[in-house]
Amino acid sequence: MKGNRIAITGVGETPFLRKGAEPLMQMMVRASLAAIADAGLKPSDIDGYIGNRMTPGSDDLGPAIGMKDRAFSAVCDVAGGTASAGQALILAQLAIEAGLATHVLVPYGIQSTKPGGVYGFHAKEPLKAALEMPVGFFGQPTYFASMANRYAHDHGMSEEELASVAITYRKWAVITPSAQRREPMGLEEYRQTQMISTPLRVADCCLTTDAACAYVVSAVERAKDMPHPVVQLAGVGIGTNNFPHGVLFTQNPCTYEYPGEASAKKAYAMAGVDPKDLDLAQVYDGFSISALVQTEMLGLCERGEGAKFYHAGHAAPGGRMPVNTSGGHMSGGYVPGINLLIEGVRQLRGQEGERQVPDARICGVAGLGGNSHSTAILTRN
């Protein structure tokens, strides 16, 4: 697969809400229509659909948005940010280059307030139910907290350094009108948020959000005649490990070793660029610990230096490598992976007002989900 063949030509989303009134389907239709309109297209122009195993498929959503010919449809097999910020792009390029589709829609929605809660799927995993829940090892914040303590043991990490991840993203959210949490947060305000599992506080966790996002993918040649500056996919890579969900948080030899280096290596090679060429990055911030480790894996700093990188202010507004410029998942909104990819597209279009990164031409997007990871390199043509 070669880079610079497809472009993200339309993006759209619904408001990021702590608790929304609309069902998932309605939000996904709204986001899809917004993305299609942003691309200067009509719903009937969309002939490709890439869904997700967690959300409605094209059988239902296609008619609801007014698609006529669903010539190509596929479902991402992986979870979370890997799907919407990586695997969907690969599938879209395959479909477009094979001539199976002209404009491919990628929608993704989440209803964090659904019955059963955000951790309900963990309780259904037999190994967790039998071995972990009876001793209280349960829920993402607890899993990632145990990684953070091991990371601190291996590399050293002070409370202030860990806090600087959340504080950095909040600084971006303060200047992002659509962000879910915009009140300023310094170390004192960070310390006032509830501790969940040491060392992770509420402020170290992604938000719970009800919202949907969508984007449209088209061939680069076609994108040149569409409304926005061409933002193309220069490189993309997927990394995986062989630790299924039931053992991922305990038995991986290093529990915070996500397959991010492998995905970044593939994406950079395909794009023909280095980490130092990036103007900004979007990093999947389910938790502060996983964000800072992926920041290292993306090559923005050395391994073991992620927390210090944030603490030094490099990723903050005005820093040398802006990261999560709309507040990320921890302060902006949590629609796994896809709202970070969309922020990357908007930054490269160059019209983000106060938070615009000057002369942004190359953006790295890291997506984590389960035991897979994606890196996408977006460039402005």
Partner 1 sequence: MGIPNYPIHLEDPQLQGFYDGLAAGELRLTADPDTGEWVWYPPEVVPGKPDTTLEWRAVSPEGSAYTFTTVTRSLLPGDHREEVPFTVVLFESDDAPGCRVPGVLVDADGVEPRCGMRLRFRPVPVGDHVIAGFQPA
Contacts with partner 1 by CB under 8 A lie at: 117, 119, 123, 126-127, 129-139, 141-142, 145-150, 153, 194-198, 200, 244, 246-247, 250-251, 253, 255
Amino acid at 145: A
- Cβ at position 285, least distance to partner 1 in Å: 19
Q: How far is the CB of 303 from partner 1 (least distance, A)?
A: 18
Least distance to partner 1 from the beta carbon of 168, Å? 23
| Choice between 91 and 293, CB closer to partner 1 | 293
- CB count within 10 Å of CB 25 equals 16
Residue recorded with tokens 């280096």: 261
CB-nearer residue toward partner 1: 78 or 196? 196
Alpha carbon distance 91, 220 (integer Å): 16
Bond before 199 cis per omega within 30 degrees: yes
Q: What is the Cα–Cα distance from 260 to 263, expressed in whole angstroms?
A: 5
Beta strands 362-369 and 210-219 are unpaired
Nearer to partner 1, 30 or 201 (CB): 201
**5/137 with CB nearer partner 1:** 137
| Minimal distance, residue 61 CB to partner 1, in Å | 31
What's the closest the beta carbon of residue 246 comes to partner 1, in angstroms?
7
Smallest distance, partner 1 to C-beta of residue 309, A: 22
Is 105 or 157 the residue whose CB approaches partner 1 more closely?
Answer: 157
* Pure H helices in the chain: 24-38, 58-65, 80-82, 88-97, 120-123, 126-127, 140-155, 159-174, 187-192, 220-223, 260-271, 288-297, 306-311, 338-349
Pick between residue 122 and residue 314 the one whose CB is nearest to partner 1. 122
User: Alpha-carbon distance 93 to 99, whole Å?
Assistant: 10
280 three-state secondary structure: strand
SS3 135: helix
Rounded to a whole number of angstroms, the minimum distance from the CB of residue 259 to partner 1 is 18
- 3-state SS of 226-257 is CCCCCEEEEEEEEEECCCCCCCCCCCCCCCCC
Contacts of 167 (CB under 8 A, 6+ apart): 185, 186, 187, 190
Minimum distance, C-beta of residue 340 to partner 1, in the bound complex (Å): 25
The residue with tokens 């007014």 is 66
Nearer to partner 1, 72 or 256 (CB): 256
Compare residues 117 and 272 and give the one whose CB is closer to partner 1: 117
